[in-house]
Amino acid sequence: MAALTAPVRASGRMFKAPTLGKAVILSSLNKEFPLGYYETYIALRLSQIGYTTTFLTDGNVTVDFLVNELNNYNIVIWRTDIYTWSHVEYFYIGESVNAATEQKYASDFAQGWLNANAGIFGASVNFFTEHFTNNTLGSVQLMIIEGSNTGDIGPIFVNAGVQSVIYCNGLVNLDYGLMDDLTADMIDYLCSGETVYNAVFSSVNYLNNQNGSAQDQLRSNIDDAYTPPFWFSGSSSLTITSPS
């Protein structure tokens, strides 16, 4: 048998995830509550299944972007929180108060739907109801809204065409990274092909320590059981690992 006179090279195709769409992470209070490591981690996990991710923080999250750009993305993750002015609850947008935006959205300010008293703009529930009407967000598959009382606006986005919206009920604390950690867990499950229902349930269930369950062993006897306030509206069976 003749000896080989030249090296033999095996050739193969490099695997590349199919292009599924675009994601955006909006962090309206990033200076106060930095997303940090989770920005890179979530973007990496989404890229592994074919999504490109844009990251916008603080003043780059504008009123115009919310109204006019969200429908350019298939996945939207929004980190915000609330403040109250004159008995009305507002969600922080991030954009610093400026005359140009106040003039452009003068009618919204006149109605009290937008507010400038916190130094950055805030939007009320009525603002979202007025600006996100039927099918204005028909291209968005999934929204995750991280912040206090975001359950008040989650169903509005479903009515606007988003297939599934994950949100928080009640008051949450953005300190210490717990909410970001739970969001990253949900992204992990979703990127592994799980449905929205399974991703939400699996992410919060290990902290839902009911008496007599195996999870009780994970906490001290003097600690109260804690159930993270994430839930969803819209499709429970949505997955993000294949084209919609």
Contact predicate 52/23, CB 8 Å: yes
Backbone φ, ψ for residue 50 (5° rounding): 110, 15
Backbone φ, ψ for residue 54 (5° rounding): -105, 140
Say how many C-beta atoms besides its own lie within 10 A of residue 142's C-beta. 27
Q: How high is the pLDDT of residue 214?
A: 46
Q: Mean pLDDT of all residues in the chain? A: 88
Cα gap 231→216, rounded to integer Å? 22
Backbone φ, ψ for residue 122 (5° rounding): -130, 150
Roughly how many angstroms between the first and final C-alpha of the chain, as a whole number?
Answer: 56
One-letter identity of residue 195:
T
Mark 65-79 as b/e (b = at least 16 C-beta within 10 Å).
Answer: bbbeebbebbbbbbb
pTM for this predicted structure: 0.86
Domains in the chain (CATH in brackets) are 21-234 (3.40.50.360)
Q: In terms of Cα–Cα distance, which of 126, 171, 165 is closest to 149?
A: 171
Q: Residue 54: helix, strand or coil by DSSP?
A: strand
Contact predicate 101/123, CB 8 Å: no
Cα gap 171→174, rounded to integer Å? 10
Q: How high is the pLDDT of residue 227?
A: 58
Each residue of 129-166: pLDDT tens digit?
A: 999 999 999 999 999 999 999 999 999 999 999 999 99
One digit per residue, the tens of pLDDT, for the chain of length 244 reads 444 444 444 444 545 667 889 999 999 999 999 999 999 999 999 999 999 999 999 999 999 999 999 999 999 999 999 999 999 999 999 999 999 999 999 999 999 999 999 999 999 999 999 999 999 999 999 999 999 999 999 999 999 999 999 999 999 988 888 899 999 999 999 999 999 999 999 888 765 544 444 444 444 555 554 556 899 999 999 999 987 6
Q: Which DSSP string corresponds to 90-145? A: EEEEEEEP-HHHHHHTHHHHHHTSEE-TTSEEEE-HHHHHHHS-TTTTTT--EEEE
Q: How high is the pLDDT of residue 1?
A: 47
Encoded tokens for 145: 């809204």
Helix or strand (DSSP H, E) at 45: helix 37-48
Q: How far is CA 94 from the centre of its chain?
A: 15
